[in-house]
Chain A
Amino acid sequence: QKEVEQNSGPLSVPEGAIASLNCTYSDRGSQSFFWYRQYSGKSPELIMFIYSNGDKEDGRFTAQLNKASQYVSLLIRDSQPSDSATYLCAVRRLHSGGSNYKLTFGKGTLLTVNP
């Protein structure tokens, strides 16, 4: 089982709709969870992070975490064409054998918002 799994998509939604991006992880010791947006040819840009069960809202974005189910999601309300990008889920856990925290990325979900 992969450490961090995402549907590769592409996920296509009309402008103004809600886009729902999902991510599951295998390590129950994972401590914090991040969503990054990556435009083609660019580096990832942090959107949100969450480390407690429940919802966390920031503008049009809501991150949801369920540690019992090992599941984290990102909802984008009122999707805009500029939201079209690859969304990377990343999970942080303590690096084995050391004191550094390691961020493991999923392969990303390609989101296309159609005007």
Chain B
Amino acid sequence: GAVVSQHPSWVICKSGTSVKIECRSLDFQATTMFWYRQFPKQSLMLMATSNEGSKATYEQGVEKDKFLINHASLTLSTLTVTSAHPEDSSFYICSARTGGGGNQPQHFGDGTRLSIL
């Protein structure tokens, strides 16, 4: 159980393109979803926390107009990287948690490797 599906797994596109990444919880309802970014040999850095039906909470230094997050349902959240540039190239990973409370584990999607040329 607790499967999180992320799509696409790889994206290669030109600078200036906007890219949308989808994150779905397949067998549970995810009240809260999280978006992380990971650069090579670095740890996961939380970008934003997304609650179903409300605006995402962005971490300091993450531009909300650059990284648009929509959590329209209990099973789907999307991250759109707008006008992507080479420095946005990274491994983007979504995560979802079942229910509320601090002790519920987060389950991760398989990640999206984004390469901007």
Contacts and interface: CB of A to CB of B under 8 A. Distances in A.
Contacts of B93: 43-44
Contacts of B44: 44, 88, 105
A44 B108 contact: yes
A103 interface: yes
A43 B3 CA distance: 13
Interface stretch (A13-21, A61-69, A75-83, A91-99): A91-99
Contacts of A102: 46, 49
B67 interface: no
A28 interface: no
27 contacts: A31-B102, A32-B102, A32-B103, A41-B113, A42-B111, A43-B93, A43-B108, A43-B109, A43-B110, A44-B93, A44-B108, A49-B103, A49-B105, A51-B103, A88-B43, A93-B102, A95-B57, A100-B32, A100-B49, A100-B57, A101-B97, A101-B101, A101-B102, A103-B34, A104-B46, A105-B43, A105-B44
